[in-house]
Structure 1
């Protein structure tokens, strides 16, 4: 079986700024298989946009290399200019040309094509993004979501090796953002396009990306699927940043892990060296069960339509969260029965 081609390879990349002793990006390595959508996810200032700008060719690395489509693009002594990288970029503010029509915006990067080829490509993309009857309109006549799709189509038009999306949904309202995230993923998949999204919003990352890299303080903490990041975080930072959850104090005995909600077998193959631990408990690990002798008190509740997110106080005063179907409408201060249903045991050394 042949090895799939790589759209992007980052090899021990570091990026520093003059006057700063700490690199903005530190020794990052990962590979992106062609046709894959990836996401750089992390809090503000973690280095994700710096890394994206380096991939685009706007910044030079202080160490390491960038390869796109198997060709070396950046080393500490040599950086191929952005226009020669065959990379499409979708910016946060869309950056459409206001004096050009929608169709002219899409065809902007196709000046070397024959007119009939330009028209065929732009008409195909207009149909793909659901705006086939709006090619003659101008950007100011479109909604924010429509403008974003035009910006994506313009980036796709020259059939680049890689698409880079820099916080593309941050100016949109929540409902439109959720819908457009799925639409953009469908468009990229229809074009068999490789892409990297930069965002601080994990819901965007989960909805759109096949693989996610979590960054913090310039370091790539973990690279993997959303499932792996949520259920198998490799560090306390990733466990705390991804999803919702709390850490409860626990203790390792010879045969099990003991904590307030019960005893759990030590996971097979787990390297748990410390005796004093913190165990990660997600809202989906706590099941509402009226028959359970284990009681917790409702101290906060957030209605989400299909369910409530309850914050519960345990007997010790520690808090956990639980997702409960919305027909179980309990009052603040009411005790309810709960039980633990934990499939992924994640522990970390006590802070």
Structure 2
């Protein structure tokens, strides 16, 4: 299947530094991707390059097979058939919801325009609000109007630049799922830029973790969490700790919590090779019957769960996420066992 978006070895440089360096990824038709990283990693610059607001110093960008940008040249933004949703939504305050959604459809006959507006308002669940104005809407409703307006001209690609950053955490996650459902229902290929991994995981099929203008790993949210390619991704995604261990003669990894078959790092196949093993909070189960004890150092109540910080006999600290009916006090020794289905280890630095 031909990619809808193909970014091939793209570089963008400013006089003082390289912002994007030989970056590549692609999206299949209808797929939702995300560029995830801290401020300054280059993710917004990459989005602007796809949109046509940045000139490439190298590589090329194709949309639906058409070259829209190459080194030193590119189609203007309005010729790329791209929809965009920004942080501030940029709605027209003097236009109603219907007027905003139909703003990019004025070239159509009135009947076709009205039909498309009705279709989009139904898709985003705002038919009752069609005559209201932006200041009369909640932040979440404004965001859906902005999405409907961007979808109205049937763009080949949708770009979303930190679209939930002005909303509170609970609303961000809920709207992330809503936006994903809307984009999937429309069959629209999209790419999201965010620094929030919960947002990325709620919306995207595939996520690229960016640092210093490069993608460290381009994979599904599940793979990023359970199969990080390096320490940076392991530390950036989710929570967890790295515990010291060694590779034994049977190509197993031995560390304080047991002996495990696992992904022995490349170039670390000799007996006694020192490694660090990634242990996630959901790998550490509370088990009163277990002879292996750890001491509760701290706990954070999360409603359905507690996140415990535990001290192992060696003094190493681990995290454990357990149902909240397992209510233990700081200083208490509790039984734990490890359910490590995805043993990931890195060569000790």
TM-score w.r.t. length of structure 2:
0.96
Residue 266 of structure 1 deviates from its aligned partner by 4.3
Alpha-carbon distance in 2 for matches of 1:340, 1:6? 41
**How many residues are treated as equivalent by the alignment?**
346
Partner residue, 2:142: 147
Alpha carbons of structure 1 residues 215 and 269: separation in structure 2 relative to 1, 3 Å: closer
Partner residue, 1:298: 296
Partner residue, 1:339: 337
Residue 263 of structure 1 deviates from its aligned partner by 1.3
Alpha-carbon distance in 1 for matches of 2:45, 2:150? 20
Partner residue, 2:259: 263
Runs of 4+ in 1 over 4 A off after TM superposition: 268-271
Out of 104, 112, 120, the position equivalent to 2:99 is 104
Residue 267 of structure 1 deviates from its aligned partner by 3.7
Partner residue, 1:74: 69
State how 1:1-351 maps to structure 2 within 5 Å: 4-20=1-17, 23-255=18-250, 256-267=252-263, 272-273=268-269, 275-351=273-349
Alpha-carbon distance in 2 for matches of 1:322, 1:25? 38
Does structure 1 retain, via aligned residues, the 8 Å contact 2:29–2:188? yes
Deviations 1:112-168 (A, max 9, x none): 111111111011111111110211111111110000000000000000000000000
Alpha-carbon distance in 2 for matches of 1:261, 1:19? 48
Residue 271 of structure 1 deviates from its aligned partner by 5.4
Alpha carbons of structure 1 residues 336 and 137: separation in structure 2 relative to 1, 3 Å: same
Does structure 1 retain, via aligned residues, the 8 Å contact 2:265–2:346? no
Does structure 1 retain, via aligned residues, the 8 Å contact 2:295–2:334? yes
Alpha-carbon distance in 1 for matches of 2:319, 2:110? 59
> What SS does structure 2 have at the residue aligned with 1:66?
strand
TM-score w.r.t. length of structure 1:
0.96
When structure 1 is superposed on structure 2, of 96-105 and 153-162 the one drifting more is: 96-105
Alpha-carbon distance in 2 for matches of 1:317, 1:268? 25
Alpha carbons of structure 1 residues 77 and 270: separation in structure 2 relative to 1, 3 Å: closer
Does structure 1 retain, via aligned residues, the 8 Å contact 2:263–2:345? no
Alpha-carbon distance in 1 for matches of 2:41, 2:72? 25
Alpha carbons of structure 1 residues 31 and 98: separation in structure 2 relative to 1, 3 Å: same
Structure 1 residue ranges without an equivalent (≥5) = none
Alpha carbons of structure 1 residues 36 and 170: separation in structure 2 relative to 1, 3 Å: same
Does structure 1 retain, via aligned residues, the 8 Å contact 2:9–2:24? yes
Alpha-carbon distance in 1 for matches of 2:242, 2:249? 21
Does structure 1 retain, via aligned residues, the 8 Å contact 2:262–2:344? no
> What SS does structure 1 have at the residue aligned with 2:303?
coil
**Cα RMSD over matched residues?**
1.3
When structure 1 is superposed on structure 2, of 43-52 and 265-274 the one drifting more is: 265-274
Deviations 1:310-342 (A, max 9, x none): 110111111101111111100011110111110
